[in-house]
Amino acid sequence: MREKLIIIGGGEHARVVAEAAHSRPDLWDLQGFVERKPCPRMEQESGLACLGTDEDASFLACAATSTWFVLGVGGIGPSTIRRDLIRRYAAAGNKWASIIHSTAHVSPSATVGKGVVILSGVVVNCGAALGDHCVINSGAVIEHDVLVGSFVQVSTGSVIGGGAVLEEDCYVGLGARVRDHVTVGSGAMVGMGAAVVATVPMGLTVVGVPAKVRKQ
């Protein structure tokens, strides 16, 4: 059955999320997006209307229990903005949709939390578990049994080896590799192109091959 969907945000990431939702017209009936500032590209390219600000949408969420929401706000690096937005909406008691692009492969034995976004060409292999509101960007590979915490963002083309753990709020940059069974701590940042071969302590940034903690 098709469900009504509203995207929170109207920027770059929101446009990509809209395309992913559009790829599953059998599942999602896009109603529009909410954003504080004008978003002409979102309106033109996704064909969606701005429904108002996110404060308006909180009221909408209370009223329209049949409407689902997804976070279309991205950003580079660990940040509390996405978590704060979800908290605001949670008070309104709305529903969080997980959007999976039609070209992604998600193993039947993988589990996907609520509000998750999985973009084009992603592979999520058997036994992997994705926490709430995480984003797996285009072409990334989440190998078997990987645990991805809430609000984690995995950038385009990254590969996470089997059994690795990405703790909540961490960020994996473009094309990075994380060795199998290694942990990236909560709120840590893996720079683009890095090869993570050992545990990354929480909150730190690592870069390079092999990845080393970046001096502040």
Ligand X SMILES: CC(C)(COP(=O)(O)OP(=O)(O)OC[C@H]1O[C@@H](n2cnc3c(N)ncnc32)[C@H](O)[C@@H]1OP(=O)(O)O)[C@@H](O)C(=O)NCCC(=O)NCCS
Binding range to ligand X, per CB under 6 A, among 24-32, 41-49, 61-69, 205-213: 205-213
Binding of residue 14 to ligand X (CB under 6 A): no
User: C-beta of 158: minimal distance to ligand X in Å?
Assistant: 8
Task: For residue 210, state whether it binds ligand X (rule: CB under 6 A).
Answer: no
198 belongs to the binding site for ligand X (CB under 6 A):
no
Q: Residue 189 interacts with ligand X (CB under 6 A)? A: yes
Name residues whose C-beta falls within 8 Å of residue 134's C-beta, 6 or more positions apart in sequence.
113, 116, 117, 148, 149, 150, 151, 152, 153, 154
Q: Which listed range, 53-61, 105-113, 117-125, 204-212, lies at the site for ligand X (CB under 6 A)? A: 204-212
Site membership for ligand X, residue 173 (CB under 6 A): yes
Region from 28-36, 107-115, 160-168, 202-210 binding ligand X, contact rule CB under 6 A: 202-210
Q: How many residues bind ligand X (CB under 6 A)?
A: 14
We find the least distance from the C-beta atom of residue 137 to ligand X, in angstroms, to be 6
Binding mask 44-83 for ligand X (x = CB under 6 A): --------------------------------xx------
Our finding on whether 192 is near ligand X (CB under 6 A) is yes
Report CA 71 to chain centroid distance, whole Å.
8
Find the shortest distance in angstroms from Cβ 145 to ligand X: 24
- Give me the DSSP letters along the chain: --EEEEEE--SHHHHHHHHHHHT-TTTEEEEEEE-SS--HHHHHHH---B---HHHHHHHHHH-TTEEEEE----SS--SHHHHHHHHHHTTT-EE--EE-TT-EE-TT-EE-TT-EE-TT-EE-TT-EE-TT-EE-TT-EE-TT-EE-TT-EE-TT-EE-TT-EE-TT-EE-TT-EE-TT-EE-TT-EE-TT-EE-SPBPTT-EEETTTTEEPP-
Binding flag, residue 191, ligand X (CB under 6 A): yes
Identify the residue among 67, 98, 125, 155 touching ligand X (CB under 6 A).
155
d(CA 49, CA 43): 6
Note the residues at the interface with ligand X (CB under 6 A): 76-77, 137, 155-156, 173-174, 189, 191-193, 205, 207-208
